[in-house]
Amino acid sequence: MGTRRVLVTGCSSGIGLAVAARLAKDELRRFKVVATMRDLRKRGPLEKAAGDSLNKTLEIKQLDACCEASIRECVNSLPDRRVDVLVNNAGVGMIGPLECQSIDAMKNLFDTNFFGLARLVKELLPDMKRRQSGHIVVMSSVMGIQGLLFNDVYSASKFAVEGFCESLAVQAMKFSIKTTLVEPGPVVTEFERKVYEDAEKMDLSGTDEETAKIFREVYLPYSKKIFSSLGQTPEEVAEQTVKVITAKEPPLRHQTNRLYMPMTALKHADPTGRLPLDTFYKMIFKHDSVFNATLGVLRMLQRSTGKK
């Protein structure tokens, strides 16, 4: 296989930045990376991470996942419009009681997380079909498998992404195009900082006192503990994304965090949905000590294996 051109979205920070830099520095020089971001004024950290690969195996271009014209302009600027691998990574988060979130904010989240993917795939799929090759890699989430308290809208957007890819993958296969959903658990990035910052400032007057209390006093501390205990680095997710991209037979789904797998496995263990529902309910509302002990064991496992 010759050099493959990889277009990555959302490279100003976090996972997108790490994936772009890792691919550009590939020792075997297997990739030409088109690292995109919506605001080029934020290119500094990526330029630093790219180091010597900048303007050699990595070029930076503007692309806003919410704007069809900007996507087309970026793709048109590439020789033969050729993109061998799309890494659809751009995404935004949202947490909190549903009653405190506006429908406009929910639509904006879907515009990036779901319609951003739909726009990119619409632009690239016809060319990939003509060439009978390509790989669509999508940064989903474990929340695309298993919904989580106070993540209703974010989780819904990732479920949409999962359904979209699962449907598309069959047609894509007919044209020798591969599809992979990368499903990270918690990853310590700007994403986490932004959602917690928003949560601290959130006006909770739109909901009842009990819900506000659960969000502030139960959900937020638990969630922060999960990030500090199980959180991966963006570089770890990037490493696994590269493995997926270079695999001979890439999987449709790849979970990056082995420590989170017992949570997602609950979903498949009981088709009625009762098992994951009861387990999450008990973990959050009934068994503070069980929750803390479980995290303790997972942390120990993490230290002893040196892996996540």
In this structure, the dihedral spanned by the alpha carbons of residues 239, 38, 251 and 49, taken in order and rounded to 10 degrees, is -10
Site string for ligand NAP, 8-37 (x = CB under 6 A): -xx-xxxxx--------------------x
24 annotated ligand-binding residue: yes
- Residues labelled catalytic: 154
Which stretch, 4-12, 49-57, 170-178, 209-217, contacts ligand NAP (CB under 6 A)? 4-12
Answer yes or no whether residue 257 interacts with ligand NAP by CB under 6 A: no
Evaluate whether 281 touches 290 at the Cβ level (below 8 Å): no
Site string for ligand NAP, 263-302 (x = CB under 6 A): ----------------------------------------
Burial pattern 271-299, b for ≥16 Cβ within 10 A else e, equals: eeeeebeebbeebbeeeeeebeeebeebe
Q: How many residues bind ligand NAP (CB under 6 A)?
A: 31
Smallest distance from the beta carbon of 153 to ligand NAP, in angstroms?
Answer: 12
In whole angstroms, give the CA distance from residue 126 to residue 28. 29
43 annotated ligand-binding residue: no
Interaction residues for ligand NAP, span 63-122 (CB under 6 A): 64-66, 89-92, 112, 116
3-state secondary structure of 109: helix
- Residue 185 CB partners (closer than 8 Å, separation 6+): 141, 142, 230, 231, 232, 255, 256, 257, 259, 260, 263
Answer yes or no whether residue 146 interacts with ligand NAP by CB under 6 A: no
In whole angstroms, give the CA distance from residue 152 to residue 258. 24
Residues that bind ligand NAP (CB under 6 A): 9-10, 12-16, 37-39, 42, 64-66, 89-92, 112, 116, 139, 141, 184, 186-187, 189-192, 194, 234
